[in-house]
């Protein structure tokens, strides 16, 4: 079963950027763990990172036509601003789970509201890399 994992802007800086908030792991290390857990759950994870909002919108919009059955997305900074990503999630026709490494509800005021959350099946935040791993388990349950 094919799924898509979308990492948003600046997540390629993980392991170097604000380690006190985002942790020590690099994006490659997180992706490796995602791939391993996905395989153990019988999921084929296609993982990409995009800095451009339009590229994220395209990835969401094209997912179903590529046989993708569900999406896990960390919209990063676009979480708080992107109506375009919200609309893409609403229109894609497949389940989407939103994840965040940090607990956005305990962050700066402008980070507490997720524009995209109203279109997703659920949101998991604050558990570091485990946010993604928990989302894999949830997505598997949704898709079975």
pLDDT 10s digits, 20-55: 888 889 999 999 999 999 999 999 999 999 999 999
Q: What is the pTM of this model?
A: 0.94
Going from the C-alpha of 15 to that of each of 29, 79, 100, 127, 128, the distances in angstroms are 9, 21, 15, 15, 12
Q: Which of 22, 50, 78, 132 is catalytic?
A: 22
Residue 100 falls in the annotated catalytic set = yes
User: pLDDT per position in the chain (144 positions), as tens?
Assistant: 999 999 999 999 998 988 888 888 999 999 999 999 999 999 999 999 999 999 999 999 999 999 999 999 999 999 999 999 999 999 999 999 999 999 988 888 888 889 999 999 999 999 999 999 999 999 999 998
The question of whether 7 is a catalytic residue gets the answer: no
- The domains of the chain are located at 2-143
What's the token pair of residue 30?
A: 């997180």
Q: Which of 7, 50, 78, 100 is catalytic?
A: 100
* CATH code of the domain made up of 2-143: 3.40.50.9100
The answer to whether the beta carbons of residues 126 and 106 sit under 8 Å apart is yes
β-bridge pairing 2-7 and 70-74: parallel
Question: So what's the pLDDT on residue 125?
Answer: 96
């Amino acid at each position: 079963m094919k799924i898509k994992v979308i990492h948003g802007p600046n997540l390629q800086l993980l392991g170097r950027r604000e380690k006190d908030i985002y942790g020590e792991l690099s994006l490659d290390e997180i992706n490796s763990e995602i791939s391993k857990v996905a395989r153990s759950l019988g999921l084929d994870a296609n993982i990409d990172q995009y800095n451009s909002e339009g590229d994220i919108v395209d990835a969401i919009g094209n997912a179903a036509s590529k046989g993708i059955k569900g999406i896990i997305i960390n919209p990063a900074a676009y979480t708080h601003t992107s109506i375009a990503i919200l609309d893409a999630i609403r229109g894609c026709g497949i389940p989407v789970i939103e994840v965040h490494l940090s607990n956005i509800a305990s962050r700066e005021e402008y980070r507490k509201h997720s524009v995209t959350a109203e279109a997703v099946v659920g949101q998991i935040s604050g558990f570091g890399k485990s946010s993604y791993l928990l989302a894999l388990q949830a997505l598997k349950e949704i898709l079975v």
